[in-house]
Amino acid sequence: MPYTVTQWATGTSTDGWAWDGSFWTEAGQRVPILYSTPIQDNGWIWTVSCGSPGVVRYTGAASQPRSPSPCPPGVGPANCSPGLDPRGLLASVEKVLPRETLTATPPPPGVVGVPVTVTTYPVPTAQYATVNATAPDLGDGDPGELLHVVWVVEAVPEATTWFWPDGTSGTEPPWIPQVARAGGTIRAVVTYAVTASGFWSDGVSVHELATVTVGSLAVQASLPYPVQQVQADLG
């Protein structure tokens, strides 16, 4: 028995579809050139007759809407994280974090009982990185089609923890040395919280994904700080 088959056209990035008067010849028939779009599949309907070889005839065009999405069917964008690579996203932000240097006033050697003000340079600020990825188009069940996914990764400084030569620590300077000490070190640890906001494109529109927490990164700086005792009666 003769049978009918639909052959879907390959895609194009232009919105909408229409043939522009261009044809090709198939078994003596003029067949329009069609393209599929990110939001609509277009193709040709062929009728194949019996015989060896059978006769293939073009009988019309077909189209159906597409629903491209990197999220599996039934999974909403809020619960979908296509192309998410926490280790890779952390590494991308770590590359742009500044190297911190540490200064103290008064500069070493310090004096017992005198407040020591400490600062990091540069002042910790939010850092960003962009990571491009691809994900299968699961919206129409065709994982062979790929969609563009972008992650904008943000590292925001949460706190700076100070470690003092006398073994104490805290988040608030200044430090007031209480005992004489030689060879001590002031150390600062700046912790960044890392999140990522995702976006994907179907070739027509950009869609937002939920923001996810990736992890944290720490940047350290240290400064040798000897402390000396000064007798009050010696000035």
Strand-pair partners of 46: 5, 58
At 228 the pLDDT is: 84
- What does the pLDDT look like over 89-98, one tens digit per residue? 999 999 999 8
Amino acid at 181: R
At 50 the pLDDT is: 80
Whole-Å CA distances, 117 to 105, 120, 170: 5, 11, 13
In whole numbers, what is the pLDDT of the chain averaged over residues? 87
Residue with tokens 């491009």: 132
More confident residue, 216 or 37: 216
Q: What is the mean pLDDT of residues 61-79?
A: 88
CB atoms within 10 A of CB 145: 17
At 231 the pLDDT is: 59
pLDDT at residue 104 tops 90: yes
pTM beyond 0.85, yes or no: no
At 73 the pLDDT is: 84
pLDDT at residue 219 tops 70: yes
- What does the pLDDT look like over 8-55, one tens digit per residue? 887 654 444 444 557 777 778 888 888 887 778 889 999 988 877 778
At 20 the pLDDT is: 54
Among 133, 148, 145, 150, which Cα is nearest to 36's? 145
At 111 the pLDDT is: 87
